[in-house]
Amino acid sequence: MQSLLSRSLRSTRSTLQRVQTQQKRFLNLHEYQSKTLMDKYGVVCQNGKEAFTADEAIAASENIQSSNPGAELIVKAQIHAGGRGKGTFKSGYKGGVKVCTKLDEVQDAAQNMLGETLVTKQTGPAGQKVGTLLVNEGLRIDSEKYFAILMDRAYGGPVMVASAKGGMDIEEVAESDPDAIVTVPVDIQKGIQPEDTLKVAEALGFKAELIPKAQAQMEKLYELFIKSDCTQVEINPLAEGAYVGREANTEDVFCVDAKFNFDDNASFRQKDIYKMRDTTMEDPRDVEADEVGVQYIGLDGNIGCMVNGAGLAMATMDIIKLNGGEPANFCDLGGGVSTQQVTDAFKIVTADSNVKGILINIFGGIVQCDTIASGIVEAVKAVGLKIPLVVRLEGTNVEAGKKILEESGVDLITAENLDDAAKKAVAAL
């Protein structure tokens, strides 16, 4: 069980354990966008609407209370991070989620959230600026469940992962109580079957009268998962409950919060979904790297890394650590990198003021060492590099590449192997 979660949940949430933020080339949706997508497939969510101004928040609240005068109004800041309710705005205003009953409370919350920067345990000290709110009709939640659909290589297809312990970090549940996790593989040829959803619904302890509704939710979420080219659909919590102020017969199974991951290779099929990308929530360096065709993730060290290949990047960062250094980033130039991309990557890496030295580790295969060497020389001259640069080349046309570096007049340090390169990079600082 723990190995399944390690392969699936953790891999979809984080590319590297040392990464402070999710790799931004994977699309991240706001909560209101996720609920818009779920509405398209008939998934039951709370009534609500996004708001970009305080007036729009009031209008959304009035619409909710017009049909339910006793409704609670939940005002939620929209950022790409969790822990919003316990977060604090840099202005001093506390809480990115507010439960209101009156319109003037909604207006106060909206005015204090919009345009302000919210800091949570997941944003880091920089926080994220709030440009949108979601106003939801409040629920009376009777029980919280966890439900997810994941693509899992071990099963060769989708797997439902569920737990009666909803509203909690599923990884912590898997660690402390693995028996609380239920996994049900789905035959991707046949699709999700009633017996599959019944097994999950019963294991989660839904009330007998709500089991058919829980099954219907799972079926619709699976349809969303397949048709939207998802690699993960995570609902936490999937809740039994009813709207506050409404009659008891409104009891239903609600998707209260959702997190989606999508297959980037299918972005050409999912243009409407990818149009939802909010680059204001992302590190500008990540956005720029995406635009020029390299993969970049910022870390918190001081040695910038530039490599070709994700595996080589991981090995390079590990060797830096073993030699007492700290990698400042993950930057994969890819297998078909051009001279211009090398220059662009240099600019992105050196834009980080924490970078005090750079280690380039290239294994020439599809892209040849002489091409990379020429790119390095041009990039150093274009950027006007003033920090130590260590270069290790190996592979196709390596001697030609080394000759280009030696005759370039560029101030750099060459290395014979990866360990040598890491030692020299650490020593150069």
User: Domain residue spans in the chain?
Assistant: 47-137, 141-272, 283-428
The predicted model scores a pTM of 0.74
Of the candidates 32, 146, 155, 243, the residue annotated as catalytic is: 146
Please, are residues 182 and 269 in contact by the beta-carbon 8 Å criterion?
no
Task: Classify domain 47-137 at the CATH class level.
Answer: alpha beta
User: In terms of C-beta density within 10 A (0-12 exposed, 13-18 middle, 19 or more buried), how is residue 304 classed?
Assistant: buried
- H or E element that contains 304: strand 303-307
Helices (H) and strands (E) in the chain, counts: 15, 19
Q: Is 146 a catalytic residue?
A: yes
Q: Which CATH number fits domain 283-428: 3.40.640.10, 3.40.50.261, 2.30.110.10, 1.10.3720.10?
A: 3.40.50.261
**139 contact partners, CB below 8 Å, separation of at least 6:** 46, 239, 241, 242, 243, 244, 254, 256
The phi, psi pair for 103, rounded to 5°, reads -65, -35
Which of the four CATH numbers 3.20.20.70, 3.30.470.20, 1.10.3720.10, 3.40.109.10 does domain 141-272 have?
3.30.470.20
Give 406's Cβ-side CA count (13 Å radius). 8
- Joined together, the tokens standing for residue 88 give 């604090």
Q: Given the residues 72, 137, 234, 240, select the one marked as catalytic.
A: 234
Cis peptide before 125 (omega within 30 of 0): no
- E strand residue ranges, 6-55: 48-51
CB neighbour list of residue 220: distance below 8 Å, 6 or more residues apart: 38, 41, 42, 43
What are the two backbone dihedrals, phi and then psi, of residue 384, each rounded to the nearest 5 degrees?
Answer: 70, 50
DSSP string, 190-252: T---HHHHHHHHHHHT--GGGHHHHHHHHHHHHHHHHHTTEEEEEEEEEEEEEETTS-GGG-E
Torsion on CA atoms 265, 269, 273, 277, rounded to nearest 10: 40
Do 268 and 96 form a contact (C-beta atoms < 8 A)?
no
User: Which burial class, exposed, middle or buried, applies to 272 when counting CB atoms under 10 A from its CB (0-12, 13-18, 19+)?
Assistant: exposed
Say what the pLDDT of residue 282 is.
75
Query: In the beta sheet, which residues pair with residue 235?
Result: 147, 258
Query: Has 31 been annotated as catalytic?
Result: no
Q: What is the pLDDT along the chain (429 residues), one digit of tens a residue?
A: 444 444 444 433 333 333 333 333 468 899 999 999 999 999 999 999 999 999 999 999 999 999 999 999 999 999 998 889 999 999 999 999 999 999 999 999 999 999 999 999 888 898 999 999 999 999 999 999 999 999 988 888 999 999 999 887 787 888 888 888 999 999 999 999 999 999 999 999 999 999 999 999 999 999 999 999 999 999 999 999 999 988 667 899 999 988 898 998 898 999 999 999 887 877 777 777 777 778 888 888 999 999 988 888 999 999 999 999 999 999 888 766 677 888 888 888 988 889 999 999 988 887 788 888 998 998 898 888 889 999 999 998 999 999 999 999 999 999 989 999 999 999 998
Question: How many other C-beta atoms can be found within 10 angstroms of the C-beta atom of residue 2?
Answer: 11
Contact 181, 153 (CB under 8 A): no
